[in-house]
A and B are shown apart, each in its own frame.
Chain A
């Protein structure tokens, strides 16, 4: 535990971090003006008044809190620090604390007072909770990966102590008796349980999924989370469930293994219950049926646990009677009742909300307030009905979405209505555009079910194309990612396994009787069931995916085409433009546009130090050669930044991920290569010659290499601890060090080698431990 004495007020200089410059501007043909948005996030309420934080976009931070009179509906705005996120109400309810992530101070709010009062703190103070007596406040800090305990007297900070947590702590909750504090380490995929009095971490509960929000209900901690799976086969491949045996222990694979979940943890840190999606089976033709023993359906959780009715459980509220959970990706909330003896949940109804529900609060009068982050609104629910809508954000530019980029932003979060399962979304893995401390199986692999790719942060997309490790995608062509959410085999007329010679030409307008039958259960997908007994009715009434997408767009957005401010079909001869339909193609383009238009890079709080200055010199030195593949300012070679004209894809600089048979499981499927012509990997003949490969095309899969795109180093300071394309390295030291390097700590492994050849990922073997730390210090400033 570190005890820090608070700097005296006279030394304090209020500062706010500036966002990264946005390189996507009016010169780009896809650019169009975007409305200002306030992105309301968290809410607290007292005495008929609610305060809502307005952080704005990361690239255009806001600095206000909305004060809402719940009866009159009047909204006033109070200036606080930059990018306010968390809120905590003092037990006296006389004041509230606002955490401003981009400022080096928090703000005090008082009812009816138009100005806030600053309290100096660190950048990236994120969420807070008061002790019952109000003398202490616990504050999570994303930058420090820590919780800071402030001791207060009359709203003045006397001192603070810092306690380490897991990666990127966010939400925080204190048990009613004030004895236990729970911290949600969102990127780190675990929950820290602290004893408040001793300030000792009693338990680190590994959920193997992001804890998004949490709340105590008596002795029980309810956590909004996702599935623990790594999307691999249950009994083959990486040991995703850490049981010492291959496989992740769950029968579904790839994106089908991604579920929305709620965990209930006892005060002893033991997991008591884990509830999963009510659509776990069987909607998509790839869903594993519980009785399908050939696919280990018996390993699915029992059906009594399939009670999570929405997508992406985000925040949790206990209002004294019910547990409420917001579902950010399906525009819903759900209530539950909790058995105080066992912690078991019973599901209540699912209610519709505005776009992107996030923060929850009791209104003090039997109702629940729901902040709709994307919709710029707040809803009030009483007795299971929405009784009021408050405009707490910024709707001057029109209701959200108002532009094509905003359509993409909406889809990025509210993906679930466009998925066959109804429970998947982009931001489940890419929380706030960042990544998770998890490598997962992906459908692009030659050896599906056993491969792994680290979840990537998709920030700074505009100037780092092509995207992903494979360097094969950009804003126009990542449709196979969206395709995973709604494969064509689920739709009767496009199910080529039902119609190998082609569906009737008018199938979309006059679906034939075959469309009323069961899903044919295409075998043309990895891990699909061969047993007709486990086939379900088709998951939607729509015979084509186009119809499904357009109906979803109409329902969610109220339109079926882009606005046309950036995305349109252009007659290449006349220049005439027509908006794109919001089918798979239009949605893909809109999401790509959003990624281009919003870098989303969190401003870096690390100041330059003597160590980082020395590290910068090492980084740029030809003796390490770091800057060759990672040149400033993007710190990767890309179509926008390639000063030395290097290839955008290079042979793997670390040993490939090989299975027990020695096969390179990083390799891509031939179908993926055909779809993405810029992807590069050795053919069998390249490495072993035609004759040998004619007998067995996989004979040299131990020698074949996949070429990879150097990932950007911007934002490393905020990334998950696991690194490299398959997540094998724990932190930068393991990435940079050669095996046996003197800078390695106990238990650490250096991965800077390729099949026994050291320094394959930049030359570091000649560096001493101090120089290595200097290099790391520099990388943390990017």
Chain B
């Protein structure tokens, strides 16, 4: 696996038609919710096979206490040689906690293919969290993994034996 790189990009680059006042950057970090709580993304992007067979990345952002209470999330995942996969989740609540703010889950759906198509491939993930006048953009590189053997399609995860063809 490649080492990841994390860039907290200050001052979001703007679209070609955007002439508004630049947004003020704020710091944020991307992670994923786990059984042990929030964990920062290091070098792996763990996929989840969820409700109705949807494959997705479940992301969660952390930020300082003075970060916006609600942000719009824009996401882009690029695998080498493939079209980028984009996603958006408006009105993501950044809940306050003892260490600042933590977002509710931010979901990037991978509806184009099946887990093994992604597994082991290098990917670049970019997430932009924006609120009026404020923005945080995070970009990181990692390996797509599917280490969770369970299928989370129902109320109770199904974790099949190794019986595949």
Contacts and interface: CB of A to CB of B under 8 A. Distances in A.
| Same assembly | yes
B37 interface: no
Interface in A496-537: 496, 498-505, 507-508, 512, 514, 524-525
B101 interface: no
Interface string B75-101: 010000001111111110000000000
Contacts of B52: 443, 480, 483, 487-488, 525, 671, 675
B113 A573 contact: no
Given A569-B76, A573-B9, A585-B109, A502 B155 contact: no
Contact of A572 (B16, B74, B89): B74
Interface in A459-487: 474, 476-477, 479-480, 483, 487
Interface stretch (A35-43, A407-415, A574-582): A574-582
A672 interface: yes
B67 interface: no
Contact of B117 (A480, A505, A674): A505
A570 B153 CA distance: 30
B132 interface: no
Contacts of A505: 116-117, 119
B35 to A, nearest CB: 14
Nearest to B158: A524
Contact of A502 (B86, B90, B158, B164): B164
Contacts of B88: 476
Contacts of A671: 50-52, 152-155
B126 interface: yes
B13 A575 contact: yes
Nearest to A501: B164
Contacts of A545: 111
B86 A569 contact: yes
B128 interface: yes
B41 to A, nearest CB: 16
A697 B89 CA distance: 30
Nearest to B154: A671
A524 B158 CA distance: 9
A370 interface: no
A514 B165 CA distance: 9
Given A474-B90, A480-B51, A575 B16 contact: yes
A293 interface: no
Given A474-B90, A483-B52, A675-B50, A544 B151 contact: no
Interface in A666-690: 669-672, 674-675, 677-678
Contact of A584 (B16, B90, B111, B117): B111
Contact of A544 (B76, B113, B158): B113
A496 B137 contact: no
Given A474-B90, A677-B105, A500 B84 contact: no
Interface residues of B, number: 53
A494 interface: yes
A574 B50 contact: no
A571 interface: yes
A280 B152 CA distance: 29
Given A507-B116, A571-B76, A674 B126 contact: no
Contacts of B50: 671, 674-675
A500 B111 contact: no
B25 interface: no
B112 interface: yes
B13 A500 contact: no
A583 B112 contact: yes
Interface in A641-694: 669-672, 674-675, 677-678
A639 interface: yes
B51 A672 contact: yes
B114 A544 contact: yes
B141 interface: no
Contacts of B160: 500-501
A172 interface: no
Contact of B114 (A474, A499, A570): A499
A496 B16 CA distance: 42
A256 to B, nearest CB: 14
A492 to B, nearest CB: 9
Contacts of A443: 52
B154 A669 contact: yes
A446 interface: yes
Contact of A488 (B9, B15, B53): B53
Contact of B86 (A489, A512, A570): A570
A70 B74 CA distance: 52
A701 B53 CA distance: 26
Contacts of A573: 9, 13, 126, 137, 139
Contact of A546 (B15, B89, B113): B113
B96 to A, nearest CB: 17
Nearest to A580: B86
A571 B86 CA distance: 9
A493 interface: yes
Nearest to A476: B88
B15 A570 contact: yes
Contact of B51 (A512, A578, A669): A669
A489 B53 contact: yes
A572 B50 CA distance: 27
B155 A675 contact: no
B153 A524 contact: yes
A675 B90 contact: no
B140 interface: no
B150 to A, nearest CB: 10
A507 B117 contact: yes
Nearest to B86: A569
Interface of A: 443, 446, 474, 476-477, 479-480, 483, 487-489, 493-494, 496, 498-505, 507-508, 512, 514, 524-525, 544-546, 569-575, 578, 580-581, 583-585, 639, 669-672, 674-675, 677-678, 697
5 contacts: A573-B9, A639-B91, A670-B155, A674-B152, A675-B107
Interface of B: 9, 12-16, 18, 49-54, 74, 76, 83-91, 104-105, 107, 109, 111-117, 119, 126-128, 137, 139, 146, 151-155, 158, 160, 162-165
